[in-house]
Amino acid sequence: MLLRSNSSWSSSSAQPWSSPLPTLVLLRSCRTVPDVSQLHSRLITTGLIRSPFLTSKIILSFSSSPHPPLARYARFLLFSRRTSGGAAGDDPFLWNAVIKSHSHGLDPQHALTVFCLMLESGVFGDKFSFSLALKACSRVGDVKVGKQIHGLLSKIDVGSDLYLANGLIRFYLRCWDLGSARLLFDRMSLMDSVTYNLMIDGYVKCGMIDSARAVFNSTPSEDRNLITWNTILSGHSQSGDQLEIAWELFREMPERDSVSWNTMIDGCVKAGKVHEARELFDTMPDRDVVSWASMIDGYAKVGDISAASSLFDEMPEGDVVACNAMMSGYVLNGLHEEALEIFHCMRSGVPLSPDMATLSIALSAIAQLVRLDEGLAVHHYIQENGFFVGGKLGVALIDMYSKCGSVEKAMLVFDSIKEKAVDHWNAMIGGLAIHGLGELAFDHFLEMERLSMEPDHITFIGVLNACGHSGLVKEGLIVFELMRRIHKLEPMLQHYGCVVDILSRAGYLEEALTFVEAMPIEPNDVVWRTLLSGSRIHENYEIGKAIADYIIQVDSHSSSSYVLLSNVYAGLSLWECVSRTRTEMKEKKIKKLPGCSWIELEGTVCEFFAHDKSHPQVTEACSMLGSMLSPNAEVVSHTY
Partner 1 sequence: MASGYVRSGKLDEAKEFFEQMPERDVVSWSSVISGYVQAGCFLEALDLFHEMLRSGAKPNQFTLVSALSACANLVALDQGRWIHVFIGKNEIKMNERLLASLIDMYAKCAEVEFASKVFSSARGLRGKTAGYVPEVSEVLLDIDDEEDKKTALSRHSEKLAIAFGIMNTPPGATIRIVKNLRVCGDCHQATKFISKVYSREIIVRDRTRFHHFKDGVCSCKDYW
Residues 458 and 426: beta-carbon distance below 8 Å: yes
Using the rule CB under 8 A, is 372 a contact of partner 1?
yes
- Residue 484 CA to residue 462 CA, distance in Å, equals 16
Using the rule CB under 8 A, is 505 a contact of partner 1?
yes
Using the rule CB under 8 A, is 350 a contact of partner 1?
no
- Residue 545 CA to residue 568 CA, distance in Å, equals 6
Smallest separation (angstroms) from partner 1 to the CB of 458: 17
Using the rule CB under 8 A, is 600 a contact of partner 1?
yes
Q: Among 93, 387, 550, 609, which residue sits at the site for partner 1 (rule: CB under 8 A)? A: 609
Q: CB within 8 A of 597, min separation 6: which ones?
A: 607, 608
Of 47-55, 56-64, 432-440, 478-486, the segment contacting partner 1 by CB under 8 A is 432-440
Phi then psi for residue 202, to 5 deg, are -60, -45
Q: Among 307, 332, 434, 552, which residue sits at the site for partner 1 (rule: CB under 8 A)? A: 434
Half-sphere exposure of 529 (CA within 13 A, CB side): 15
Smallest separation (angstroms) from partner 1 to the CB of 427: 15
Q: What angle do CA 322, 328, 329 make, to 5 degrees?
A: 90
Q: Return the amino acid letter for 163.
A: Y
Count of residues binding partner 1 (CB under 8 A)?
54
Q: Among 14, 222, 610, 614, which residue sits at the site for partner 1 (rule: CB under 8 A)? A: 610
Q: Which is nearer to partner 1, 350 or 635 (CB)?
A: 635
Q: Among 27, 345, 570, 590, which residue sits at the site for partner 1 (rule: CB under 8 A)? A: 570
Residue (of 337, 357, 358) closest to 346 by Cα position = 358
38-71 core/surface letters (b: 16 or more CB in 10 A; e: else): bbeebbeebebbebeebbbebbebbbebeeebbb
Q: CB within 8 A of 367, min separation 6: which ones?
A: 375, 399, 400, 402, 403, 404
Strands (E), 64-113: none
Using the rule CB under 8 A, is 408 a contact of partner 1?
no
Q: Among 244, 449, 490, 620, which residue sits at the site for partner 1 (rule: CB under 8 A)? A: 620
Using the rule CB under 8 A, is 471 a contact of partner 1?
yes
Q: Write the interaction track for partner 1 spanning residues 351-370; mark x where CB under 8 A is met and - where it is not.
A: -------------------x
Q: Among 10, 217, 283, 597, which residue sits at the site for partner 1 (rule: CB under 8 A)? A: 597
Query: How many C-beta atoms lie closer than 10 Å to residue 335's C-beta?
Result: 17
Q: Which is nearer to partner 1, 15 or 573 (CB)?
A: 573
- Residue 471 CA to residue 439 CA, distance in Å, equals 10
Using the rule CB under 8 A, is 486 a contact of partner 1?
no
Using the rule CB under 8 A, is 618 a contact of partner 1?
yes
Smallest separation (angstroms) from partner 1 to the CB of 454: 27
Smallest separation (angstroms) from partner 1 to the CB of 491: 21
Q: Among 174, 469, 529, 545, which residue sits at the site for partner 1 (rule: CB under 8 A)? A: 469
Q: Among 380, 405, 449, 481, which residue sits at the site for partner 1 (rule: CB under 8 A)? A: 405
Smallest separation (angstroms) from partner 1 to the CB of 302: 24
Q: CA-CA-CA-CA torsion for 379, 382, 385, 391, nearest 10 degrees? A: -150
Residue (of 454, 400, 410) closest to 432 by Cα position = 410
Peptide bond into 455 cis (omega under 30): no
Q: Return the amino acid letter for 404.
A: C
Q: Among 436, 456, 494, 577, which residue sits at the site for partner 1 (rule: CB under 8 A)? A: 436
Of 41-49, 218-226, 376-384, 612-620, the segment contacting partner 1 by CB under 8 A is 612-620
> Which DSSP state fits 604?
E
Using the rule CB under 8 A, is 614 a contact of partner 1?
no
Q: Which is nearer to partner 1, 369 or 389 (CB)?
A: 369
Q: What angle do CA 330, 333, 336 make, to 5 degrees?
A: 50
Using the rule CB under 8 A, is 44 a contact of partner 1?
no
Using the rule CB under 8 A, is 1 a contact of partner 1?
no
Smallest separation (angstroms) from partner 1 to the CB of 529: 11
Q: CB within 8 A of 447, min separation 6: which ones?
A: none
Q: Among 403, 474, 495, 588, which residue sits at the site for partner 1 (rule: CB under 8 A)? A: 403
Q: CB within 8 A of 24, min separation 6: which ones?
A: 54, 57
Helix (H) or strand (E) holding 601: strand 596-601
Using CB under 8 A, list all residues that contact partner 1.
370, 372, 403, 405, 407, 433-436, 469-471, 505, 563, 566-567, 570, 582, 592-601, 606, 608-611, 615, 617-618, 620-630, 633-637, 639-640
